[in-house]
């Protein structure tokens, strides 16, 4: 028996006038300057009278502002949207949004996944989903990990300019915990540059012997890096091609979490 898909079922409850209002808001947000009702109607493909009615409703609620008179009246986004945006941000929990993404990442890879956020000169672990194998890693919630020897730390550094990376690292201890730890600013910066090109960073036994981690940055609606996610596994038996394959999956998952935080492609 064929069931109705969720998308088909949900379409029954979509209100066309509301969707048109949202389309107008997004179009005005993407415009470089306020637009006339004619310009908006042409872009939306609707009638001028219908678009005008929607605009007046949104103006009345402060979601759109207008200036000028007659045919020269132009419309742009209203400040009420900024207030709503601030309220939305207050209600968003990075950890709550990250949890389903981490679950999906672990399901795809079978590996332990983690989310981290900024904590001064460290990456702070805020959530973890254990892998499906028998191996359990000692990855503590709330633990601080140095930026220079963790995949999440280096992933977050990729969002900075080279000068800023140097400045941050200059104020931290580049202490080694394994023979593979990068202990100079130039070495870490070279690795960060390589990570920028790949989209993901690798901790290749730099924090613990026999362990490899692969992380990617997460950005918010402003384009600012707010954290990173990663996966962890035993290094034995993994090839460079497998590292890259896993890295691509982590990048995809970080992109999904970024979109949940309001980032645009």
Domains of the chain: 6-88 (1.10.10.10), 92-260 (3.30.450.40)
pLDDT of residue 44: 87
Over residues 21-80, the pLDDT tens digits come to 999 999 998 899 999 999 999 998 888 999 999 999 999 999 999 998 888 899 999 999
C-alpha to C-alpha distance for 206 and 201, rounded to whole angstroms: 12
Write down the mean pLDDT value for the chain.
88
Strand order through the sheet with 225-234 = 144-146, 122-129, 112-119, 225-234, 211-219, 201-204
CA angle, residues 227, 217, 161, in degrees to nearest 5: 95
pLDDT reading at 91 higher than 70:
no
pLDDT of residue 95: 87
Q: Mean per-residue pLDDT for 231-260?
A: 95
Over residues 147-158, the pLDDT tens digits come to 999 999 999 999
Cα 87 vs. chain centroid, distance in angstroms?
19
Residue among 188, 122, 186 at smallest CA distance from 152: 122
| pTM of the predicted model as reported, rounded to 2 decimal places | 0.70
Tokens found for residue 88 = 């939305």
pLDDT of residue 209: 94
In our burial notation (b when 16+ CB lie closer than 10 A, e otherwise), range 7-24 reads eeeeeeeeeeeeebbebb
Q: Mean per-residue pLDDT for 103-126?
A: 92
pLDDT of residue 69: 86
Reduce the DSSP state of residue 123 to 3 states and report it: strand
Over residues 73-88, the pLDDT tens digits come to 999 999 998 888 777 7
C-alpha to C-alpha distance for 115 and 231, rounded to whole angstroms: 9
Q: Whose structure tokens read 């997004």? A: 26
């Amino acid at each position: 028996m064929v069931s109705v898909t969720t998308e088909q079922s949900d379409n029954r409850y979509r209100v066309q006038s509301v969707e048109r209002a949202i389309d107008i808001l997004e179009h005005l947000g993407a415009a470089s300057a306020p637009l006339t009702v004619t310009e908006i109607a042409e872009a939306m493909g609707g009638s001028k009278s219908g678009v005008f009615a929607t605009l007046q409703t949104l103006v009345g609620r402060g979601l759109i502002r207008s200036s000028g008179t007659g045919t020269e009246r132009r419309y742009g986004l209203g400040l009420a949207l900024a207030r709503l945006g601030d309220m939305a941000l207050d209600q968003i929990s990075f950890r709550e949004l990250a949890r389903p993404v981490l679950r999906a990442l672990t399901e795809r890879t079978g590996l332990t996944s983690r989310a981290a956020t900024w904590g001064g000169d460290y990456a702070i672990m805020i959530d973890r989903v254990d892998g499906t194998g028998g191996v359990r890693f000692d990855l503590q919630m709330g633990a601080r990990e140095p930026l220079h020897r963790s995949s999440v730390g280096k992933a977050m550094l990729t969002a900075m300019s080279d000068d800023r990376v140097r400045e941050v690292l200059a104020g931290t201890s580049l202490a080694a915990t394994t023979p593979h730890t990068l202990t100079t600013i130039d070495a870490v910066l070279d690795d960060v540059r390589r990570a920028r090109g790949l989209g993901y960073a690798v901790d290749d036994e730099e924090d613990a012997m026999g362990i490899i981690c692969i992380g990617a940055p997460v950005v918010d609606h402003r384009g600012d890096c707010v954290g990173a996610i990663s996966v962890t596994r035993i290094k034995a038996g993994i090839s460079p091609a497998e590292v890259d394959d896993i890295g691509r999956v982590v990048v995809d998952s970080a992109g999904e979490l970024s979109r949940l935080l309001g980032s645009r492609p």
